[in-house]
Amino acid sequence: MTIHSKCFCACRSKILVFCLVIIPTISLAQTVESDERALIEVKEGIKFSKDSLFLMNLRFRMQNRAGFNSVYSGTDLGIEQFEMRVRRLRLRLDGYVLNPKFQYYIQLAFSKADMDLETGNIAQPVRDAILYYTVNDNLYLGFGQSKLPGNRERVISSGNLQFADRSIVNSLFTLDRDFGLFGYYTLRTSGTSLFLLKGAISSGDGRNASAINNGLAYTGRVEALPFGVFKNSGDYSEGDLEFEESPKLSLGLTLSENQKAVRTAGQLGADLFAPRNLSSFIVDAMLKYRGWGVMSEYMQRSTDEPITSNSLGDIRYVIVGHGVNTHLSKMISRKSEMAFRYAYVVPNESISGFQDRVDEVLLGYTHYLNGHRIKVQGNLGYRWLEGLYQLANSGNSWTGMFQVEFGI
């Protein structure tokens, strides 16, 4: 082979690698309103493709934090504990194989908290593993493990939050992830308004669960967007980073019935000593306009007999009751935001001897270096029990957190 032919082959190989790996591929998302599928149109991430037969978008993100919790007395600012760790470390893969109508979404977790090692002895690295089929522009179906169409704060990605953590209401009453069949339908009107219908039939036992009984969970959700879609899917991203030029509103309602649930919080929590049927009711709203943002949600869980026990007299109970979580935020510049949260949870009387009422307020500042992908956050909050907000009451505490989010 001549020198010229060798050079030509080398150049051709480099050009081929460039075309397959570097050149961005076209967008696949057919709708922009609150799409639960992987948002393949994002510009961040690393994309690999081959013709129209294969696409993989690779992304990662991490949350590094340092914080403190005070002694359980509001007047004592002594530090009870420090928190210094990698809170989240995620790897996400999404795209399609063979046909753009068949999409996949995989998310793996590697930090201790993300793998449930703080509450169990078995690592759970698989957070999402789901296949989607696009029927048409308004309908798509999913099969696998993903977030149920529950409360808004939970469905919002942890990378798109305006505080370091979700609220106490979410921690007790969320539906979380589950394995099953999912369906999403967009109902359009003659004007700008639209309705989003979402449903799931799932195991009811949470992610990576084993076969336990013949009970299933049935979840349905409807969302109304009377003023049209938010910019950049902003109805599922906290804070008005897009500075909506006209008011945008999303109203959501979720009903869920988890039959023969075996965990204290349905898809989450310790194992109960006997299964229970759980009912959840959720109402939430998101409003954005010119840098202002308001998000609020009401959540309730109920069951007939929340307390279970074993032959030794040990007790485990379903977390029943209700709670409210409200955020108010304002972009004070194109890159900086102030946010305020007030949330409370009220346990049902049947478990009031085991579970306290808890209230919390939180003030947060976020500086966005590259939207929610790269940001610096600081939170300062106060938490009190049984409605006794006075600083001197035992059990009340202060908390502070500094967190850096970095990802592509």
pLDDT tens string 77-121: 788 899 999 999 999 999 999 899 999 999 999 998 888 776 667
**Residue 402: Cβ-neighbour burial (10 angstroms; 0-12, 13-18, 19+):** middle
Q: What's the Rg (C-alpha) of the chain?
A: 23
Comparison of pLDDT for 41 and 138, the residue scoring more: 138
pLDDT band at residue 43 under the 50/70/90 scheme: low
Q: Identify the pLDDT of residue 22.
A: 35
5 assigned to some structural domain = no
Q: Identify the pLDDT of residue 199.
A: 98
269 assigned to some structural domain = yes
Quick: pLDDT tens for 180-231. Answer: 999 999 999 999 999 999 999 999 999 988 888 999 999 999 999 999 999 9
Structural domain boundaries, residue 278: 60-92+107-407
Q: Identify the pLDDT of residue 4.
A: 45
**372 touches 404 (CB < 8 A):** no
Quick: pLDDT tens for 323-378. Answer: 999 999 999 999 999 999 999 999 999 999 999 999 999 999 999 999 999 999 99
Q: Residue for token digits 């007999």?
A: 305
Q: Identify the pLDDT of residue 14.
A: 42
11 assigned to some structural domain = no
| CA dist list (Å): 340 to 65, 77, 184, 270 | 20, 22, 32, 32
Q: What is the CATH number of the domain that holds 211?
A: 2.40.160.10
Percent of the chain with pLDDT over 90: 77
Q: Identify the pLDDT of residue 7.
A: 44
Mean pLDDT value across residues 379-402: 92
pLDDT above 50 (res 147):
yes
224 assigned to some structural domain = yes
pLDDT above 70 (res 385):
yes
pLDDT above 60 (res 235):
yes
20 assigned to some structural domain = no
Q: Identify the pLDDT of residue 119.
A: 63
Least confident of 118-132, 208-222, 300-314: 118-132
43 assigned to some structural domain = no
Q: Identify the pLDDT of residue 113.
A: 85
The pTM for the full model equals 0.86
26 assigned to some structural domain = no
186 assigned to some structural domain = yes
CA 184 to chain centre: 17
Q: How long, in residues, is the chain?
A: 408
Counting the structural domains of the chain, the total is 1
pLDDT band at residue 392 under the 50/70/90 scheme: confident
